Amino acid sequence: QSALTQPPSASGSPGQSVTISCTGTSSDVGDYNSVSWYQQHPTKAPKLMIYDVSKRPSGVPDRFSGSKSGNTASLTVSGLQAEDEADYYCSSYGGSNNLVFGGGTKLTVL
């Protein structure tokens, strides 16, 4: 099972919006609505930000939103804040009881 494809980096100024893509195939992202997004600050454990493509767990700001079109899922962070600077990972159920992550995107708040 190959990793999902994410851009290595993304950036935006405070208050702006940034979108991170996550491209898979018709066997994972394209076939299932089990796409999740995680935020990871340096030396910390990941934190769930989005699940089931677009649902937010309790406590996650509504500045974070998710969507999917075909084989590509996206995470949009609106109203960028300094504390949003982190690594972001997508994941998807990949069929055959496998789960696959993306390679990660480093988000920089300029």
Partner 1 sequence: EVQLVESGGGLVQPGGSLRLSCAASGFTFSSYWMHWVRQAPGKGLVWVSRINFDGRSSTYADSVKGRVTISRDNAKNTLYLQMNSLRAEDTAVYYCARDLGYYDTQDAFDIWGQGTMVTVSS
Residues at the site binding partner 1, with contacts judged by CB under 8 A? 1, 3, 34, 36, 38, 40, 45-48, 51-52, 57, 89, 91, 93, 97-104
Q: How far is the CB of 96 from partner 1 (least distance, A)?
A: 9
Q: Report the residue number, 14 or 71, with the smaller CB distance to partner 1.
A: 71
Q: How far is the CB of 88 from partner 1 (least distance, A)?
A: 11
Cα separation values, 108 from 13, 48, 88, 90, 103, Å: 8, 19, 11, 17, 16
Q: Report the residue number, 38 or 84, with the smaller CB distance to partner 1.
A: 38
